[in-house]
Amino acid sequence: MRDKLYLKFKSQEFNINIISIFLMSFIILYYNFYLGGISFIVLIYLMYYNFNLKYKKKREWIQTMEELSLEIDDTIKQTVLKLPIPVCILEFDESISWYNKKFNNMVNKDNIFHKNIKEIMPNLSLRKKLNETKEFYTEVEFDNKKYTVVYNIVKIKKDKEIKYVIVMYWLDKTEYVKLLNKYEDEKSVIALVQIDGYDEVLESANLDVRPLINAELERKLNTWAVSLNGALRRNTKDKYTLIIDSKNLKDLEQDKFTVLDEIRDIDYGNTLPLTLSIGIGSMGDTHEQNLKYATSALDLALGRGGDQAVIKRKDKSIFYGGKSKAVEKKNKVRARLIAYALKELILEADDIYIMGHKYPDLDAIGAGIGIYNICKSLNKDSNIVIQSSNSSIDLFMERVKEDDNYSDVFISREDAIRNCKRNSLVVVVDTHRPNFTECEELLKISEKIAVVDHHRRGVEFIDNAVLMYHETYASSTCEMVTELIQYIDSKSSIDNLGADALLAGITLDTKNFTFKTGVRTFEAAAMLRKLGGDTTSVKKLFQGDLENFIVKSQIIKNSQMIDDIIAISVCEDGIGNPKLVSAQAADELLNIKGIRASFVLGKDKDDTVFISARSLGDINVHIFMEKLGGGGHIDVAGAQLKDISIEDTVKILKELILDYLKEE
């Protein structure tokens, strides 16, 4: 730029000199003709000389630029030809129009000129957007190597015609991927292992074989750790810490944690099975974060009944096992401590709101009535949040309306939201999932939340509860509330309707004391019977009409069998209370010889597809329902799905069942 300015200045200076000479020559010519003539001749010569000089320099400049352009073109050509990476050019129809030697060596095929690149690399995907300023990227695997393909669209003008080509650069990242995989495989993983009900298992065996049980347990766990190249440390009599690599964790997942079955097979006459709960933390940024993940995963495994492994990777949890039912705890110390803590919360609260899950059943409404009676015995006002009744509780709600003691017990969601304050106590019964509650907004308003539930814990749960009473071994939430009642106050009592409600909840969830019924279940039922519970009145709450019996018979008749052990059926549209009928039909199917699990599907008024799942305990129906967004127990579970047809739901359910049977 500076040279151009200088040349321009020199040219202007020369012009000024010529003009000056011309004026001087004209003046000399005026005084002396001969000298003036000579001056004009010199002026003409200088102008001619300057013209020739400029023309010569221009020719030299053009020649220099042409030579330089040729050199640049040759340099670019040689550079592209000798690039240390594979390069190719495609026509817009993806045919190969040019390639360098590196690309030819990479492909290792003859006669690829004008061939479509998809014939050589079928898994290559290109985005052909006419954007000359943007680079595109894609990943492709070819000949056991991984490449990052960088390409752009080039516009070419030739003979007034315009065409576009794709220039592709192939960057081999195979070694980088191997190094990255090795790094990921060698990341540390923390596993926390706990023996479920260790003391109860040992007490179920004779004194002379207890050391053998302990020794066999220790041997199998150490063998398991050695097979994983891990480090196992026993922290307490029933708790261990295991450190392994991510690669070993992948092997564990492929193996489906068969160590759970191996530990369960330990049998020295112990009447209770020996089971493990494993919580694994992985993909944390630090060891401390992995430990937090592992602790959370172990809590999740224990909250789901134990005998399973839970892997927590940041916000994702994966479950394995869970084939055994939770072992009933004979010790009631925890129930007494929870009762004392709940009593303190009730006494400190300004007001109390009790709620169960959406579309409440007799277990949810019965547990709510039980908590209401506890508050009443402590002279505290409380309300049960319920938006509307449903077919499962209609008969009970009719009895409530006839009882003056419960005239103002129920409150709508809108009123609860309007009146609830930060110091209000919200007691959630029969669910621990926020989006399943009758009024999720209350959980955000109140700072005091208590949860009483018996369902197997899901990934989503109320994590800000000040009191969590979660026991998966319990038959029902009503059983848990009944135990709390006897510890809240020795003088506390409930009326006949309250006793009937709690007894009905236990009867519902145990299927007339056949499923998940332990010693504590009968003790709770005996207490309720003593407090005025009437089994005949409870029986009336489960009565159905003739039409429902006919519909159930039709559902059973239309059922389909899978592997002769699992029944699937569909409840037809137009039924008055499809959820109740479907649940009862699923129960009835288990009375048929050979059927170990049953699934009945139906559609609600709002086109929501629901599933009632039942089993005799050896098939975990909770696993299927959890994968469909539902939950429950090993033998009783359910799910609700929106924006899907019953036919598609049946198809998905069958695929899940077949995969489960294949794994088994």
pLDDT digits (tens, 9 = 90+) for 433-490: 898 899 999 999 999 999 999 887 777 888 888 898 988 888 899 999 999 998 886 5
Q: Which residue's entry shows tokens 């594979």?
A: 86
Quick check: 569 and 601 in contact, CB under 8 A?
yes
Quick check: 374 and 399 in contact, CB under 8 A?
no
In the sheet with 597-603, reading across from the earlier edge strand, the strands are 560-562, 566-570, 597-603, 609-615, 636-641, 631-632
Q: Which residue's entry shows tokens 């012009």?
A: 15
Tokens of 192: 């926390």
3-state secondary structure of 234: strand
Average pLDDT over residues 169-186: 90
Average pLDDT over residues 397-426: 90
Residue 661 has pLDDT above 90, yes or no: no
Average pLDDT over residues 360-375: 93
Q: How far is CA 431 from CA 117, 267, 405, in A?
A: 57, 35, 26
Residue 622, amino acid:
H
Residue 558 has pLDDT above 60, yes or no: yes
> How high is the pLDDT of residue 460?
81
Tokens of 583: 């649940």
Q: How far is it, in rounded angstroms, from Cα 634 to Cα 305?
A: 9
Tokens of 648: 């598609």
Look at 111 and 396; give whichever has higher pLDDT. 396
Residue 263, amino acid:
I
Residue 49 has pLDDT above 90, yes or no: no
In the sheet with 145-158, reading across from the earlier edge strand, the strands are 96-99, 87-91, 161-172, 145-158, 136-142
Burial of 158 (0-12, 13-18, 19+ CB in 10 A): exposed
> How high is the pLDDT of residue 61?
66
Tokens of 619: 């098939």
> How high is the pLDDT of residue 604?
81
Residue 3 has pLDDT above 50, yes or no: no
Cα Rg, the chain, nearest whole Å:
41
Q: Which residue's entry shows tokens 């749960």?
A: 461
Q: State the DSSP H helix or E strand holding residue 191, giving kind and residue range, or none if neither.
A: strand 188-195
Q: Name the nearest CA neighbour of 376 among 237, 489, 505, 268.
A: 489
> Strand pairing partners for 326?
none
